[in-house]
Chain A
Amino acid sequence: MDTHLTEDVVGPMPHDYKSDVKPIWCPGCGDYSVLAGITRAMANMGLKRENTVVVSGIGCSSRIPAYTSVYGYHTVHGRSLPVAAGVKLARPELDVLIFGGDGDGFSIGGGHFLHACRRNVDMTYIVMDNQVYGMTKGQASPTTESDWCESKLTPEGPGVNPIQPVALALACGANFVARGFSGDPNEVARLIVEGVKHPGFSVIHVLSPCVTFRPEQRNWKSTVHPYGREPTDDPNQAMRAVLEDDGFGLGIFLAGNRRPFQPASKDSHTIAQIEERFAV
C-alpha cells in the first residue's frame, strides 16, 4: 500500500484507510460493517491519513484504530473522549474521531460523555451499541434491558433500566446527534460524513449487533426504521421526537448551532516578560 495518497482523479478509496490487521471480532459481528462505513466515510471526505486521528477506549469496537491506516491511540477503558479532546484542543487542524462501545462510553466513561457533550469540542464520536460487554464474555451494559437474564453476573437480569444514548446526548448538549445501523454501512458512512463536517461534538449512535452474546439482535434488521423527520437545529424539538421514538429510528436527530469549544491562546508574551514580574 502507498504511504501517501495519490491525487489521481478517483481520489482515495476505502481500502486506503484500512490496515492489513485482521480484526479479533466474531464472524457476523456488526462492527465489521461499521468499520466499512468508517473507511467509506474517510474516503468520501478524502481525509488526509496523516492528519486524521482516531481514538478509542477498551472493548471490541475500541479495537478499530489498529484496523485503520490513520494515526490512532488505543487508550484505556472509558477515557477515549478526554484523550481525543486533548488531541483536538492541542492540534485543532487535525480531524479527530472516537470509536467505542456502550460499556466504554456510558458506564466507565459515562462521566466524560456528559462533559464531552457540553464541552462541544469539534470531533465525532461513533458509539457501537450492542447492549452487552462482549470482550469480557457477555455481561449487561448500561443499555441492556433490565430483564435480560443471560449473564452469569446478573442471572436474574440487571434489574435497572437501560439508558437511551440519543436522549442522553441531547440532554447533555451534544451539537449533532444521529443514529445508524451496522446493517446499512452506506448510511453509517453518510452519518459519519455529516457528523465530521458539522462543527462541534457529534454523536453517532450505531446499533451494531453482538451475534455471540445477543444472537436475538440479528433481528434488528427488521426492527430498525427510518426515523422519518427532517433534522432540526432545535434541541427541544429533537428531544421531543426522540422521546416518542422506540430506540430504533435511524437518521439525524439534531444538527445544532452551538459554537465549538477552543481555549484562547495568543502568543503575545515572551517568558522573559512573564518572569520579570517575580523580580523584587
Chain B
Amino acid sequence: MTVDSVTIALVGSGGAGAMTAGQMLLDAAANVGWYGLMSRSTGPQIRGGEAAALVRLSPTPVHGPGDRFDIIIAFDWQNVERFAAELPLSDKSVIITDPSQGEVPAVLAASGARQVELPIKELAGKIPGGRVNMVGLGAVAAIIGLPRAGIDAVIQKALGKKGDAAIQASNAGIDAGSKEVAGWNLGLELAAPNKAEGAVRWNISGNEAAGLGALKGGVKFCAAYPITPATEILEWLAPNLAKTGGKLVQAEDELASIAMCLGASFSGVPSITATAGPGLSLMTECIGLGVASETPVVIVDVQRGGPSTGIPTKSEQSDLNIAVYGLHGDAPHLVVGPTSIGDCLFTTQWAVHLAEALQTPAIVLSDQAMGQSRAIIDKPADAPYVAKRLLATDLGGEDKYKRYANTESGISPAAIPGMPGGEHTADGLEHAENALPSSQASDHQKQLDKRLRKLTSFDFGDAWADIEGEGEIAVVTWGSATGPSREAVRRLEAEGKKARLVAIRLISPVQPSKLAAALEGVTKVLVVEQTHGAQFHKFLRGHYDLPGKVSVFSRPGPLPIRAREVHETLLSLI
C-alpha cells in the first residue's frame, strides 16, 4: 500500500540544518522522478530561532501545501509553539521525536498523532563529523521509500567540494537514520515516480522564476534595495543580468531604486525592480510618474503579511489594494499575479512585454509562499513575449515630434535618447501632445483618455486567466491561492462532481466580458483569497458582475490555504 502524496515538516532551531535537509530531500525526490514543493517557515531571526522546512512530494504535480502533515521530524522543539498553527496534524500523522529533546509539545500532541522516538542526536554523535539533519534525512527517506541513489547524487553535488570526509559523514548519518526506522511500517511509502523518458523537470523557486522571466522578457537593468521576501530575485538577477549584457545597481532605498529604473527605461532600456509591501509604499509616487510620463517599468512585489512591517517572513495577498489603487490621481496601470511558482516566470516575462508595449508600469504581485518556496515542475514552455517598445519613425521632418501624440490605440511612438529629432522633455506634469506642460482642461481630458484607452483597447489574449473545469459552481481566485483551489476543484471532479476554476492573472485592467464568458451558466461563486479584508472579493464586486450566490473564503496569513479547506467549502455549497 502506498500513498499518492506525502507531506513532511523538518523542524529545528537554526543550526540544526532543517532547511538544508529539506532542500536535499526535495532535490533527491526530484532526482528519482517525483514532483515536490518545499516552503519555509522561519522566524525573524538572522541566525538561530525556529525554522521548518515544509516538503510535499508526489508522483503527480504538486499545486500547494498538503492538507495535513504526514510526518513531523524534530531535531529539537525550540519555539515550535510559534508556528505550531502552521503544522496541522491528524491521528494518522507521525511525530518523530528525539527523546533527548524532551516531550512533544502539548499543542502538537493534542492532535492525537502517533509519536515515535528516534535518538537523532545520539546517532549523530556516534559519527565523526555526524550531523542530526543527515540522520533525520535518512530516516525520512527510508519511511517514504526514497531510493538511495537519489540521495547519493544530492550528497555528491552538495558536498563534493568539501571532500571525502564530509561525504562519508553525511552518508553514515543517512545510513544510521534509515537503519533505525527499518521495520517501523508507518504506511507512508510514496507511490512510484512516473516520469516519461526524456521529460525535463526544473527545480526552481518563485523568486528565481521571476528573475528568469525578467531576463527572458528582455530586461537589461535592475536597481535593487534588499527586502524580505523579495531579495532573492535581486540576488539572482545580479550575476545573471551581468552575464547577459545587463546591469544591476544597489540603490540607497526604494525611492531611488524605482527612480533609477525609470531613468534607465526613459533611455530605452527595459528595467525591473523587486520589493515587498513597505518598499512598494515608498515607490508609489514614482510609479505614478511612470504612468504620467508613459515610462515602462516592472515592479515585482513579493507580498508578505502587512500592514507596516507586518510579518516579513510569511505570506499574504493583502497588497492587492495598494497595487491596484495605491497611486494618486487617475492612474491606470498594469497589475498581474502569477498563479504558481512556475508561473512566476511566465507572468513576469509577460509583464515586461506588456509594460513595454503599453508604455506604463506593471506591478507583478507574487508572494512569500511562491517567492521563497521551491518546486519541482515540468520545464515551463517557452513564451513568445519580449520587450518591444513602439518607437518613433520619420523624426526630424517638418512636423515637430509629439511624444504624447493622441493616437487611436492610445500608444504614442516613443523617441529615446540617441534618436535625433526626437528630443523632448518627458514630464510628470500634465502635458499637451507635444510634451509641454499644460493645465488646460482639454489637454488633461485628452491625456487621461489616452492613458486609459491604451490599456482598455489592448488585446490581452487568453493569458488573462487560468480557466479549467465546468459546472455551475466556480472558484474565482488569484495568485498563490490558485494552487489549493485547483487541487480542490480536481478533487471534486475525481469524486464525480463538477466545478470550475477561474484564476485571474491580469488583475488590472479588468476584463469584464472575458470573466462573464468564463462564468457563463454559473449559479454559485466561491472567491478564495488570503487576506483579512476580503480585498479580492471587494475588487471583483467593484469591477465585475458575479453571477448567482457569491461566497467568500478569505483568511489572512500566515496560515496557508489548503486544498482540503477549499474542497470542504465547495462541498458545503453544492
Contact = CB atoms under 8 A, between A and B. Distances in A.
Contacts of B75: none
A83 B425 contact: no
How would you classify the secondary structure of chain B's contact residues: helix, strand, loop or mixed? mixed
A180 B311 CA distance: 50
B318 interface: no
Interface stretch (A62-70, A163-171, A220-228): A62-70
A73 B263 contact: yes
Interface-central residue, A48, A52, A76, A111, by most chain B CB under 10 Å = A76
A89 B249 contact: yes
B52 interface: no
A86 B263 contact: yes
Interface in B1-44: 27, 30-31
Given A87-B267, A266-B243, A267-B244, A71 B212 contact: no
Interface string B384-420: 0000000000011000000000000000000011111
A75 B259 contact: yes
A7 to B, nearest CB: 13
A55 B426 CA distance: 9
B220 interface: yes
A3 B195 CA distance: 63
A215 interface: no
> Chain B, interface size: which category?
35 or more
A216 interface: no
B396 A74 contact: no
Contacts of B264: 86-87, 89-91
B420 A3 contact: yes
A50 B422 contact: yes
Contacts of A269: 240, 243-244
B59 interface: no
A271 B244 CA distance: 7
Nearest to B268: A91
Contacts of A70: 423
B424 A72 contact: yes
A280 B242 contact: no
Contacts of A83: 259-260, 262-263, 266
B31 A90 contact: no
Interface in B405-451: 416-429, 435-437
A264 B243 CA distance: 9
Interface string B242-274: 111111110111011101111111111101000
A263 interface: yes
A211 interface: no
B267 A94 contact: yes
Contacts of B435: 66
Given A86-B260, A265-B247, A274-B215, A279 B202 contact: yes
Contacts of B257: 82
Interface string A79-97: 1001111111111011000
A160 to B, nearest CB: 23
Given A51-B417, A87-B267, A73 B425 contact: yes
B285 interface: yes
B289 interface: yes
A73 B266 contact: yes
Contacts of A275: 212
A264 to B, nearest CB: 6
B417 A74 contact: no
A55 B263 contact: yes
A15 interface: no
B245 A267 contact: yes
A39 to B, nearest CB: 14
Interface in B342-394: 376, 379
Interface string A41-58: 000000011111111000
B80 interface: no
Given A71-B423, A75-B262, A86-B259, A266 B267 contact: no
B94 interface: no
Given A66-B436, A266-B245, A279-B202, A74 B427 contact: yes
B436 A50 contact: no
A112 B204 contact: no
A74 B425 contact: yes
A112 B254 CA distance: 11
A274 B203 contact: no
A66 B437 contact: yes
B282 to A, nearest CB: 11
A21 B285 CA distance: 27
B241 interface: yes
B530 interface: no
| A-B residue pairs, 7 tightest by C-beta | A86-B263, A72-B425, A267-B245, A90-B264, A86-B260, A82-B259, A82-B256
Interface of B: 27, 30-31, 200-204, 208, 212, 215-216, 220-221, 223, 240-249, 251-253, 255-257, 259-269, 271, 285-286, 288-289, 293, 376, 379, 395-396, 416-429, 435-437
22 contacts: A4-B420, A50-B417, A66-B436, A71-B425, A72-B425, A73-B426, A76-B289, A83-B262, A86-B259, A86-B260, A86-B267, A89-B247, A90-B221, A90-B269, A91-B417, A93-B418, A112-B259, A115-B251, A266-B245, A271-B212, A279-B203, A280-B31
Given A90-B264, A265-B242, 18 more contacts: A4-B396, A4-B421, A51-B417, A66-B425, A68-B425, A73-B266, A75-B286, A75-B289, A76-B285, A79-B255, A79-B259, A82-B256, A84-B263, A86-B264, A89-B247, A89-B260, A91-B268, A280-B27
